[in-house]
Amino acid sequence: MRLLPLLAAAIAITGTSPAFAQDRPYCPERPGIDTPACTMAKGRVSVETSIADWTRDDQSGAREDNVLVGDTLVRLGVSDTIEARLGFTPFGHDRTREAVSNGAAVESFNRVGDVSLGMKANLRDPDGSGLAIALLPFVSLPVGRRPIGDGDWGGGMLLPVTYEISDSVSVDLTPEVDAAVDDDGHGRHVAFSSAAGLAFKLGKSLTAMGEVQALRDDDPGGATTQAVAAASLAWLATDDLQFDLFGAVGLTHDTPDARLYAGIARRF
Q: Are the beta carbons of 35 and 27 closer than 8 angstroms?
A: no
User: What is the tens place of the pLDDT at every residue in 9-46?
Assistant: 433 433 333 444 447 899 999 999 999 999 999 999 99
- How do residues 231-251 score in pLDDT, each as one tens digit? 999 999 999 999 999 999 999
Give the CATH number, domain containing residue 66: 2.40.160.40
- The total domain count for the chain is 1
Instruction: Write the pLDDT tens digit of every residue in 46-58.
Output: 999 999 999 999 9
Specify the pLDDT at position 8.
Answer: 42
CA-angle at 175, arms to 171 and 179, nearest 5°: 155
Question: What confidence category does residue 104 fall into, taking pLDDT thresholds of 50, 70 and 90?
Answer: confident
Strand partners, 74: 47, 86
Per-residue pLDDT, 103: 62
Q: Can you give the chain as a three-state secondary structure string?
A: CCHHHHHHHHHHHHHHHHHHHHCCCCCCCCCCCCCCCCCCCCCCEEEEEEEEEEEEEEECCEEEEEEEECCEEEEEECCCCEEEEEEECCEEEEEEEEEECCEEEEEEEEECCCEEEEEEEEEECCCCCCEEEEEEEEEEECCCCCCCCCCCCEEEEECCEEEECCCCEEEEEEEEEEEEECCCCCCEEEEEEEEEEEEEECCCCEEEEEEEEEEEECCCCCCEEEEEEEEEEEEEEECCEEEEEEEEEECCCCCCCEEEEEEEEEEC
**pLDDT for position 10:** 37
Is the pLDDT reported for residue 163 higher than 60?
Answer: yes
pLDDT at 122: 96
pTM value > 0.85? yes
Containing domain of residue 202, as a range?
Answer: 3-267
Dist CA 202 CA 169 (whole Å): 10
**For residues 190-204, average pLDDT:** 96
